[in-house]
Structure formats: C-alpha cells, structure tokens
Structure 1
Amino acid sequence: MRTTSGDRRRPAIATLCAALIIFVIAPAGALNATYEVLPNATSYAAHVEINDTSTYQFANADLLGENIPINVTNVSLVADNGTLVDFNGSTDWYSPSVITFPKGNYTISYVTSLQDNQMQGSFLLPYNVSVYLPGQYDVRNPFLATLSPGANVTRFPDNTTAITWNDTTSFNLRFYDQARENLLYVFGEFMIILAIILLTPFLLMRKPPE
C-alpha cells in the first residue's frame, strides 16, 4: 500500500512483489506493522500503523518499482482512539485501488494473498515488524526456513510462532509446514543410505595395514 504522489513523504506501504514486498514510508521513530498468516497460508491479514496521512494505495511493486494493482478484502481504518473511520475508495482500470480519508494517525487493516510461504519487506524508515504463524508452520529449521538478520523467534505452547524485528528497514521470511520437514528427513536418510552403499565396496577393497 502506498500514498499517492502528493503524500510521498507520508507513511506508506506497497504490498507484495512475487511473494510479499512491502515498502513503507514512515515518520521518525518506529511504527508497528503486524502480519498474521492465515491457516491455509494462501493469504495473510495485515495491520499497519500510519501517521499524518490521508491517502493509501494498494499496489504491488515490481522489480522496476512500478505499481501493480493487488486485490485486498476486509479493509478497515481505525483511529488512534479506537474509532472505526469511514473512507472513500476508488479503482481505475489497470490502476491500484486507492482509499482516502481525513488526514491523521490510523491503523489500516486488510487481507490479501500470499504465495510460496514467503514474505519479504523493505522500509524506508524503521518499523517494528511482527509476523504470526499458525501452529502447523515453523521457521526453526535452518535448512527449510529463511530469516533475515535481527529476527526474534518465539514458539508458544499452542505451537503458534511469532517472528519479530525491532526498528528494522527490511525483513525476509520463509516458513514451512510439517510435511516439508518430514520430506527433508526422508531425503536425509536416503542420502545417508546411498552414501553407505557407495562407500561399502571401497572400504571392503582397502588392504589392511601391514
């Protein structure tokens, strides 16, 4: 999500490029951006704080920085005092959807798609980022997961996971499910067995030391 050209110095967020690429322009001092991966891992719910802005644009950012429209649902705008605020929305053909509202400080919430169990974000100024995973997903196996530097991982008793970054200007996250971890173990066992089979003839042919 990104502000229009008149508010480019205001807080903004542009979501999802390939997996999820988010560009946020924030004021001095870290705001909060929270992402909750939904159980099927094909979508996520976002809650992003913004300050002193009146326009938001929902868009992808491609590799050249061009805006590509994305589909969002369940959009809501909440003021600092908890009041739900009305907004106006507009969508032009082949252009990102835009919402406008009275200038102020808000939390924008929405739901949008997620692909390949991967999230990635870049911020122009520091944000406190939190990503929450349902119990069937994990990030603790380094052979299957990707976590950018500075990540703090908390595994809760109900097997849900929280990954957080403090005062970060970028983050990268790839998570996995139990089936993929089981497949990794099966592959590892197969490779060990294969190594034993290939090495056994060589070991048997070696002459014992005289």
Structure 2
Amino acid sequence: MRPADRDRCRFRVTSFCAALIILSSLVFCVSGLNASYYVYENASSYHASVDIQNLDGFEFLQPGILGEKVPLEVSNVSLAYENGTNATFEDKGRSITFEKGNYTAGYDAELKNKDFQVLFDNFYNVTLYLPKGYDVRNPLLGTVSTGGSATENNGTVQIDWTRKSYAEARFYDAFQVEILTIFGTFWIALVAVFLVPYILSRRKSQ
C-alpha cells in the first residue's frame, strides 16, 4: 500500500507544478511588455516609452510600405533601469546597445499626416495618448488597427492594444471635423434642391 501512496503524492506534486507553470505562462501572456506613446500638442511628433526585456540592444523601427521593418529616425534617446534610474548605453544612430538586462527606452520620433504606426519584434501592450483637440473615433476621418479600442478621459483620447506586434492609428483635429460637417451639409442641401421638386412633381402627376 505504501508505494501507492507515494505514487499519489508524486502525481499531486507533478500536477501542482504543471498548474503553476500554466498559470505563470498565462500571467505572462496577459501582462506582456508595455509601450506607451504620447503625441505632442502640435501632432508633429511623439515621445515613446518602451519596455526592454533581457536584451543587450534595441533597434528603432517602423513599418515600411509593404509592412517591412524600416529604420526609424529618433531623437532625445534615453535608457532607464526598472527602478527608474538612468542607464548607460551606446548610441549607434538607428539603434542602441547596452549591458544585457531589463530597461525602459525613451525617444522622440516624427509623425507624418497624423498617422501613427509602430512595429515590434515581440508582443506589446500598446497605449497611444492624443492631446486635447485630437480624436480617432469618427470612422469617416480616423482609423484604428485591429484590436485597438479608444476611450476619452478629461478631453484626452487614449487608444489601447493588447499583445500586438503592430499598431496603427490615423487621427484628426477639430478643423477636419468642421470641414467634414460643411461638406456633408453642402451635399445634403444639394440633394434637397433636386429631390424636393422631383417629389412635388410626382405628387402632382398622381
């Protein structure tokens, strides 16, 4: 009987260890790495804060026309340890190198035509913060790539993606909304000018 008890004990220990491994992998999958982007007020550039895990180098990349990886021109580069203190690194122009470990990289990059795009070698939880006066939620003017959701807090729009290696958002300003409103009003008025006389003539003929 004693060997059977030992077998049961081993089975329980093995099951417990397997459950711990699965649980830890699920927690890692949900949490992942984080990347935050803050668009400046003039919408001509943004500041990035990107997690780096167990690496000794980091490339600044953006998606090309065909979705390929293209070097990204950046400025104001910084590197910090997990506790927030500054870390030393070697700037190689379109990439940086450093002692292998976990860090947060910060940098500024240019935005063109209010079109935000990022590309990663890993899965990231991505957050984009738009300043007041900019939005992305009108489908006629803005777009958000698959999996992104937009919310508003005190006039600031925030777009979130969970575990993505690519994210894109095309946003707009209040002037573009005004132009769209004027354009829509013009076409509604134009349709009314031609449609109302037609309806009245049909009624008279009947």
Verify same fold: TM over 0.5.
yes
Residues of 2 paired with 1:59 and 1:166: CA distance? Answer: 19
Residues of 2 paired with 1:150 and 1:61: CA distance? Answer: 18
Q: What percentage of aligned pairs have identical amino acids?
A: 41
- Offset of residue 67 of structure 1: 5.9
- Offset of residue 126 of structure 1: 2.5
- Offset of residue 120 of structure 1: 2.5
1:162 corresponds to 2:158? yes
Change (3 A) 1:47 1:182: same
Aligned partner of 1:137 among 129, 134, 137: 134
2:107 maps to what in 1? 110
Query: Structure 2 unaligned runs (5+)?
Result: 1-27
1:78 corresponds to 2:80? yes
Change (3 A) 1:175 1:65: closer
Residues of 2 paired with 1:168 and 1:115: CA distance? Answer: 22
**Structure 1 SS opposite 2:189:** helix
1:52-201 alignment to 2 at 5 Å? 52-63=54-65, 68-91=70-93, 97-157=94-154, 159-201=155-197
Change (3 A) 1:148 1:111: same
Change (3 A) 1:65 1:162: closer
Structure 2 counterpart of 1:120, which letter? Q
Structure 2 counterpart of 1:78, which letter? A
Aligned partner of 1:49 among 51, 56, 60: 51
**Is the 8 Å Cα contact of residues 62 and 117 (structure 2) preserved in structure 1?**
no
Structure 2 counterpart of 1:146, which letter? T
- Offset of residue 47 of structure 1: 0.6
- Offset of residue 122 of structure 1: 4.1
Question: Scaled by the length of structure 1, what TM-score is found?
Answer: 0.76
Structure 2 counterpart of 1:193, which letter? A
Superposition CA RMSD, Å: 2.2
Residues of 2 paired with 1:139 and 1:171: CA distance? Answer: 14
1:16-31 alignment to 2 at 5 Å? 29=29, 30-31=32-33
Higher Cα Rg, which structure = 2
Please identify which structure carries the higher helix content.
2
Query: Structure 1 unaligned runs (5+)?
Result: 1-27, 92-96
Residues of 2 paired with 1:115 and 1:126: CA distance? Answer: 24
Change (3 A) 1:32 1:114: same
Residues of 2 paired with 1:134 and 1:173: CA distance? Answer: 14
